[in-house]
Structure 1
Amino acid sequence: MKKYVEIAIVLIAWFALILQLIILKDSLANYFSYFTILSNLLVAISLTPKLLASATSFGKRFSLPKTKSAIALYIFIVGLVYNLVLRGIWEPKGWQLVADNLLHVVVPLAYFSYWVVFVNKISLVWKDMISWTYFPLVYLAYSLIRGYFVNWYPYPFLDVNKFGYQQVLINTFFVVLAFISIGLAMIYYNKLMTRNR
């Protein structure tokens, strides 16, 4: 059952990423500057070697509960932020609507459910949360620095031209707070489930 779920998630994630690339109306650099794309890529890349080459060091690294949990956190945030904050600001049509829902709804729900049901999380500890924040912090810094030079920001809440640095820093603070809060909740949930077994 687990393997079939992994295959389904891999196929959906790669299809969504390729579809979004095909219908891209922006530059390739901008495509890879969305946290949505990077997180879905992590989902696809993490499960692909596990299915095709699980014995390799690359495959083993992505099989670690700590790594899978980090990816589950990232993709959960993708779904949460998009559907609570960003969904109402535009109306995708046709294939863009398909890609949009796959990247922001289907893959996040599928992978997070996979994490809840199938990932052996017993080895997770509180300090794992520290390393989980590296990727989003680097991403936020990259987005703001790149945005300064190219005058383009991937998400409205990062748009310095519209909100100014003070408000954007406040926005990023709440985004980071969401990462930390949900990550700690994931670890707490795991410890609670482990204790009740």
Structure 2
Amino acid sequence: MQSPTLHLSPSRRRFVITAAMLGWFGLAVQLYLILWGRWIDHASLVGGLVRFCSFFTVVTNTLVAVALSCALIDRHSAGYRFFRSPVVCAGITTSIILVSLAYNLLLRHLWTPQGWQWIADELLHDVMPLLFLGYWLFLVPKGLLKPRHVLMWMLYPVVYFGYLLLRGNAFGDYLYPFLDIGTLGVAKALTNALGVLAGFLGIGLVVLMIDRVLGRKAQG
């Protein structure tokens, strides 16, 4: 898995630094809000931390922030190489685009966040997807993706959905209303899950196509 060190110009480095800082800031604000809410309700803070780490949005934005941070540090350990890999970055791009599309199409109309919650909401669902898409488009090497990589990326949402269903069955909390088996029933919830997976596959194929086009242009 190729993972070249990125040689960033000063302006591009500032872009990546800003994007990474915004990513970590958005995650920190969301974590604070969840833990503060648990504190006010006299609920377990550990349970709040587990809940925070259970959201697909949070996990994917964490991958985004880590990948951006690794791009800034010239180290060659396995972890840094992994998150600088064009294949991994393309998979994260696919996942964060899914986060934005799923939220804006399926969830945004369900609530109206205010104050700091609005800031975290916009950062994690709109700002970071655009910033990481820009990072992938303009800074990550192209022409290395294969169709099998799209199938490899699908392991991430498949494993996540499996975890979500097990968690929901154990605690009665499915986190996302369109996957709530208790309310929707098994058939409808699984249909929705398959629809999201189909969306992920579609995004992945578009990412693959863009990679090939830009890769040919770079070689030509």
**Does the alignment reach a TM-score above 0.5?**
yes
Trace 1:90-109 onto structure 2 (pairs within 5 A).
90-109=111-130
Check whether the contact 1:50–1:60 (CA below 8 A) recurs between aligned residues: no
Trace 1:60-139 onto structure 2 (pairs within 5 A).
60-139=81-160
2:45 maps to what in 1?
none
**Partner Cα distance (1:89, 1:182) in 2:** 24
Unaligned runs of 5+ in 1: none
1:162 maps to what in 2?
183
1:180 maps to what in 2?
201
Is 1:20 aligned with 2:41?
A: no
RMSD: 1.3
Is 1:55 aligned with 2:76?
A: yes
1:171 maps to what in 2?
192
Q: Percent identity?
A: 35
**Partner Cα distance (2:105, 2:135) in 1:** 22
Check whether the contact 2:29–2:120 (CA below 8 A) recurs between aligned residues: yes
Check whether the contact 2:94–2:204 (CA below 8 A) recurs between aligned residues: yes
The runs of at least 4 consecutive aligned structure 1 residues that moved more than 4 Å come to: none
C-alpha displacement of 1:47: 2.1
Describe the superposition over 1:71-123 as per-residue Cα deviations: whole angstroms up to 9, x where unpaired. Answer: 11111111111112110100111100010000101001110121111111211
Check whether the contact 2:142–2:214 (CA below 8 A) recurs between aligned residues: no
Q: Normalising by structure 2, what TM-score?
A: 0.86
2:32 alignment partner AA: I
1:30 maps to what in 2?
51
Check whether the contact 1:14–1:44 (CA below 8 A) recurs between aligned residues: yes
Q: Normalising by structure 1, what TM-score?
A: 0.95
Q: How many residues matched?
A: 197
Moved more, 166-175 or 114-123: 114-123
C-alpha displacement of 1:53: 4.7
Secondary structure of 1:23's counterpart equals helix
Larger radius of gyration: 2
Secondary structure of 2:145's counterpart equals coil
Is 1:3 aligned with 2:19?
A: no
Unaligned runs of 5+ in 2: 1-10, 39-47
**Partner Cα distance (1:77, 1:126) in 2:** 18
Moved more, 119-128 or 66-75: 119-128
C-alpha displacement of 1:192: 2.4
Check whether the contact 2:94–2:200 (CA below 8 A) recurs between aligned residues: yes
**Partner Cα distance (1:146, 1:53) in 2:** 38
